Chains A and B, each alone.
Chain A
């Protein structure tokens, strides 16, 4: 039977506020456990929450960016459950009246097609702390530094039909929130976490199948793997006559295996009710307009600008505008070098390949945009050949200095001086009379192939530093007659 996959996402996006959703404690990542948790985060008796205005601004900005209705009046509710990393015994979140209503994001697929993914709503809430189950000799440790960090949870409609579409949406969302500056996008630090709802149904069937939820995926790669694995599992279960059980699953990216965590039967009754410690949040027109005016350039606009103003092909523009850090890097390199297309090639080529190889983000790139621009300039003014540029790039990556320093210390200057090149060419012609005769006797269309011999000899004689264009010109002139 042919199956169709149906995917909906719930995405937790950590907001890049300096302090927490309801307290003044810092949200910085990586501090010693429990050093960034104040009395409010610890839920000490008598403490009360005060909502972080910056979080509302960021959520509003997100809502405007996905063309959603911003609810003029939103309400915080308490979601009740017991867990040691949830100090109050409830999470303060939004349910009936979230700040961001229905909106959408358009994604581009590898086929070139565009698809609209509807977003059901996005709500503000606080993150929980972390339970640490290792290194405590059978006990668990609790780190409440993350407790109270502001999140928006973005909930999509079940509009995606494959892992590719889900990942395309995830990347698009990542690009959007980083471009807006409302999330640092550091997935490995948990800044964006994806819960994936997956079901399958016979192709053509309208009724949705029973879904499972794979929780807490924090890389695009794991997300793709987890989805593929779950689709395969569901098909196998149904085709062997079984039934899908509604359950929560966990995917382990190291072992490439998933397991069921809990089924719907043991799910909590969260007993939501409006939080009496927080007033309804009322946003007026003026506030929303103010946020709209402060919106940074969105990826869509950026993409259009790269095509129109920088002359980039659509493909390049799409890739470079998708992620805020990448586009910032690219724009600086393009501006400083004055060569947008070359800058695009380098960022999408060598830089991306190296970052991938070392599994680091462009923020940690050892070559700054300015240094890359320096390399592009030397390539452009003919000081070095593209082949040499690769060597210079590698040296720059390894911290051996900027392009000029590397060219100087490695003696990589290209020989473009026509006097010097002419002398080399003259010597080669003199020393290889047979090849010269063969060349001159050959038909016009065979000649380019035979020219390779002379180019090789000249490059050898110049220790690889001959300017290829210039060398070609002189060779053709002297051999051709």
Chain B
């Protein structure tokens, strides 16, 4: 059952091959039996899941159920879930139970989707290896001594290990695409504003975007249909028509213009990854696409700009965690300052504290123009690069991350080495563009991801391109050893 795609599960549920309760029970048992090796879940909501599955079965029996009714799904622990602990991977929120649902959680509940539990993640989504989680690192199902990527490492690993059919995730600088790449699955980060941020705990508000981890592009399209919505509770949500993302999946991509930014194939890119990406591009050529060399001249300033803007926003976004109203509070505070200092020093991990301090510095009087204002200028230049590029090509492709999964601790001492993990993914967040990562090969039995960047609100086209690739290749069907 766990080898089925969601598209197949939808059909089998209607054929009564199994019920949602049976499907849900199957995945719950897999999580309970296998997840001790991956640590991909921080909460398993067995009772609620089965209750939701029973309700879904009743709706399916009535024959007018939404497409996703009865499909089990895991939520990244960054999304608030009413009555279910939402920790964001932090000690700070280890005791936090929200009294409300994130809009995307609500959307899935509305359509009868069953929540299996909450997935592990880097603390407050800050990290590229899942090593910063308060609940311990997630292990890559392809190589248990390697990281799954981050920050959505739990979501990626659970889907790769087939203990969840799909998972929600979020992407601020690559947090969906990089772990999808490292775990050999399909990840999509929609256009900024396509999906509501309400109830998604903020890291960097102007960059954060919710998305999905699935095994196939078709599954991503099915799930995005429910996830995307215009939401008045999020002022940055964009009121653009939402197409049926499955409608164009089978369209031919003959004549598609693919841009390959020369900046994404230079120094720092591992040989194996470069080769796998080049092979993937050849496959697209065989399908009738044309390939064009393009330039995104400001690519080299994306990482520095990001590491000013994201920490600046996070420094303010995380101020609410002060030990006053909810979350972690230190023992016996002596006075107000002591309460703040110790609650925050003890409640936040090292990487979170580092970024808060970097952000405060970048915004402080006398440094604002040199850092924050300059980074915003860089951001506009980067955005303009893409706008110019999309005048020439339909989609942009390149590697998702410089190399396959690395070993635990190998980048632990040097934050900058870790930050360079996102060198190819960060620019799309700065520009607000949609991006995907799809599996395109293995190097030393570790997956490599192909990144596809689409134009604003062109998710349907991006999914069509990814689906056509998957119709003609088998990389997305590969599973880590021992899974099948």
Contacts and interface: CB of A to CB of B under 8 A. Distances in A.
A431 B192 CA distance: 103
A277 B100 contact: no
Contact of B96 (A42, A43, A45): A45
A48 B236 CA distance: 10
A257 B287 CA distance: 84
Interface in A75-125: 78, 80, 82, 84, 87-90
A245 interface: no
A49 B232 CA distance: 10
Contacts of A87: 320, 324-325
A85 to B, nearest CB: 9
Interface string B341-373: 000000000000000000010011100100010
B202 A90 contact: no
A273 B235 contact: no
Interface string A164-206: 0000000000000000000000000000000000000000000
A365 B165 CA distance: 70
B319 A89 contact: yes
Nearest to B340: A82
B100 A276 contact: no
B206 A276 contact: yes
Contacts of A142: 324
Contacts of A2: none
Contacts of A272: 363
Given A45-B98, A82-B322, A271-B360, A90 B235 contact: no
A48 B318 CA distance: 13
A45 B80 contact: yes
Given A277-B235, A279-B236, A46 B202 contact: yes
Contact of A48 (B198, B320, B321): B198
Contacts of A78: 316
A136 to B, nearest CB: 13
A308 B320 CA distance: 57
A48 B316 CA distance: 13
Contacts of B99: 39, 44
Chain A contact residues: over half helix, strand or loop, or mixed?
loop
A43 B324 CA distance: 11
A368 B320 CA distance: 49
B336 A46 contact: no
A269 interface: yes
Contacts of A269: 364-365
B205 interface: yes
Interface string B300-333: 0000000000001101101111101110000000
A278 interface: yes
A147 B321 CA distance: 17
A46 B80 contact: yes
Nearest to A50: B235
A278 B363 contact: no
A273 B322 contact: no
A80 B232 contact: no
A48 B197 CA distance: 8
B319 A273 contact: no
A89 B316 contact: yes
Contacts of B312: 273
A47 interface: yes
A344 B86 CA distance: 64
Given A82-B319, A271-B364, A273-B363, A44 B98 contact: yes
Most buried by A among B201, B233, B324: B324
A428 interface: no
Contacts of B321: 45
A329 B62 CA distance: 65
A455 interface: no
A84 to B, nearest CB: 5
B147 interface: no
B234 interface: yes
Given A80-B316, A90-B319, A46 B201 contact: yes
Contacts of A244: none
B161 interface: no
A383 to B, nearest CB: 62
Nearest to A45: B201
Given A45-B96, A84-B324, A273 B316 contact: yes
A43 B365 contact: no
Contact of A47 (B198, B204, B313, B322): B198
B200 interface: yes
B399 interface: no
Nearest to A76: B235
A49 B315 CA distance: 18
Nearest to A89: B319
B235 A89 contact: no
Contacts of A474: none
Most buried by A among B99, B200, B234, B322: B322
A479 interface: no
Given A80-B319, A142-B324, A279-B236, A44 B100 contact: yes
**Shortest 10 CB-CB contacts between residues of A and residues of B:** A89-B319, A276-B206, A276-B205, A271-B363, A43-B320, A46-B199, A45-B201, A46-B80, A269-B365, A46-B201
26 contacts: A42-B325, A43-B320, A44-B326, A45-B98, A45-B202, A46-B80, A47-B100, A48-B198, A48-B233, A48-B235, A50-B233, A78-B316, A82-B319, A82-B322, A84-B322, A87-B324, A88-B320, A89-B319, A89-B322, A90-B316, A90-B319, A273-B312, A273-B372, A276-B313, A277-B235, A279-B236
Given A49-B235, A80-B315, A271-B363, 19 more contacts: A39-B100, A45-B326, A46-B201, A47-B198, A48-B235, A82-B319, A82-B340, A84-B324, A87-B324, A89-B316, A89-B319, A90-B316, A142-B324, A273-B312, A273-B368, A273-B372, A276-B205, A277-B236, A279-B235
Interface of B: 79-80, 86, 88, 93, 96, 98-100, 102, 197-202, 204-206, 232-236, 312-313, 315-316, 318-322, 324-326, 336, 340, 360, 363-365, 368, 372
